[in-house]
């Protein structure tokens, strides 16, 4: 069994505060589902994530999507870290303080060195606020 997948599965329903990734800890993600090739988490929108209009900042949206794209690679692939090569984000609507967003990331294709991932970020009613596609490259740096 992949130890990184087990790590996430052991935290289903709990806010992750002990991740080796400080950005993951700051986002206060709660895993909902983790399996080979797919991960779903929830993320609360806090005041420190917003812009001057008090909606979630686009950079935070991209950060959430990028973090989950990288995480799905870690739980699905070999014992190597993957780095983002491209991240294309479509911003569709805002989210407000107090919204709990659901982020889903899925591996579309896993090649020898590049993994293609699609991700979505949605409001509680299922309406998308953003979607992304990302290519991540095997760094050849081993995970622990």
CATH number of the domain bearing residue 135: 3.10.129.10
**What is the C-alpha separation between 143 and 75, in angstroms, rounded?**
11
pTM above 0.75, yes or no: yes
Domain count, the chain: 1
**Residue-range definition of the domain harbouring residue 121:** 3-142
| Tens of pLDDT, residue by residue, the chain (144 residues) | 788 899 999 999 999 999 989 999 999 999 999 999 999 999 999 999 999 999 999 999 999 999 999 999 999 987 889 999 999 999 999 999 999 999 999 999 999 999 999 999 999 999 999 999 999 999 988 877
């Amino acid at each position: 069994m992949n130890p990184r997948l087990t790590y996430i599965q052991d935290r289903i329903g709990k806010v992750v505060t002990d991740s080796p990734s400080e950005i993951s800890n700051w986002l206060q993600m709660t895993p909902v589902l983790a399996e080979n090739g797919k991960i779903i988490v929830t993320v609360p929108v806090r005041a420190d994530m917003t812009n001057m209009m008090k909606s979630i900042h686009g950079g935070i949206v991209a950060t959430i999507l990028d973090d989950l794209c990288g995480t799905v690679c870690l739980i699905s692939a070999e014992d190597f870290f993957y780095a983002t090569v491209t991240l294309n984000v479509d911003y569709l609507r805002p989210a407000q303080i107090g919204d709990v967003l659901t982020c889903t990331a899925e591996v579309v294709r896993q090649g020898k060195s590049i993994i293609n991932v699609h991700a979505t970020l949605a409001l509680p009613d299922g309406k998308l606020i953003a979607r992304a596609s990302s290519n991540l490259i095997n760094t050849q740096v081993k995970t622990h």
